[in-house]
A and B are shown apart, each in its own frame.
Chain A
Amino acid sequence: DTEVTQTPKHLVMGMTNKKSLKCEQHMGHRAMYWYKQKAKKPPELMFVYSYEKLSINESVPSRFSPECPNSSLLNLHLHALQPEDSALYLCASKVRLLAGEGGTQYFGPGTRLLVL
């Protein structure tokens, strides 16, 4: 089973709202990722967590706040977003960082976010 689940599937929010995206995997993976994908563009890395600790932040604005409460869950808290933040937000997981030949990232279906 290589399933990564994400909720909600769609989200519409105003610029003053606070919302959260959720990602879950039960594969025992210890590395989890957030990506942002704009239409007709490749995914862009935002954050990487390893063993529930933030490992990489790709200079993402502070209005995006990641959280990894346990080894199966990854959240992305959103606050005061801008319309240009509208995109597909993808979660991915991998068995662990620097996993060599086990190092395939498996992606969830994404949350399509629209900021009004």
Chain B
Amino acid sequence: AQSVSQHNHHVILSEAASLELGCNYSYGGTVNLFWYVQYPGQHLQLLLKYFSGDPLVKGIKGFEAEFIKSKFSFNLRKPSVQWSDTAEYFCAVILFGNEKLTFGTGTRLTIIP
């Protein structure tokens, strides 16, 4: 079955540390990839997306992600995190030509001031 894996369930970092959250998917065809963020008590917001072209995509708030097709991965990165980045992060994948957006289980990020 098609799936999206986020192996880091809870990540705790100090401010200014670098961040990398893993996302792997098991789809075999062309995919569209997303990272969404859900701040405490708030709704899902799009951080960034990849459809085609440059595999390194930049999003809002200094986040970026790299699509590595050979590894079926779309890892999220930020060089220096802030306390305000504390949130739940979801990777999501949709198979091109399909309409079901499948989410990973999410990674809870806690930033310690």
- A side interface size, CB within 8 A: 23
> Closest approach, in angstroms, between the C-beta of B27 and any C-beta of chain A?
15
On whether the beta carbons of B105 and A48 are closer than 8 Å, the reply is no
In the complex where A43-B103, A56-B99 touch, is A100 in contact with B51 (Cβ < 8 A)?
Answer: yes
Mask of A97-116 contacts with B, CB within 8 angstroms, 1/0: 11011011111111000000
Mask of B55-78 contacts with A, CB within 8 angstroms, 1/0: 000000000000000000000000
At the interface with chain A, which of B13-21, B38-46, B79-87? B38-46
On whether the beta carbons of A97 and B99 are closer than 8 Å, the reply is yes
A55 on the B face (CB < 8 A): yes
Mask of B22-58 contacts with A, CB within 8 angstroms, 1/0: 0000000000101010000011111001011000000
Chain B residues contacting A48 (CB-CB under 8 Å) are 99
B113 on the A face (CB < 8 A): no
A: residues with CB less than 8 A from B are: 31, 40-43, 45, 48, 55-56, 58, 90, 97-98, 100-101, 103-110
On whether the beta carbons of A109 and B105 are closer than 8 Å, the reply is no
Give the complex CA separation of A107 and B46 in angstroms. Answer: 9
Give the complex CA separation of A108 and B46 in angstroms. Answer: 12
On whether the beta carbons of A42 and B51 are closer than 8 Å, the reply is no
Residue among A42, A108, A110 having the largest count of chain B Cβ atoms under 10 Å: A42
On whether the beta carbons of A104 and B43 are closer than 8 Å, the reply is no
Chain B residues contacting A107 (CB-CB under 8 Å) are 36, 43-45
Query: Which 8 pairs of residues, A with B, have the shortest CB-CB distance?
Result: A42-B103, A109-B43, A107-B44, A101-B51, A107-B43, A42-B106, A97-B99, A42-B90
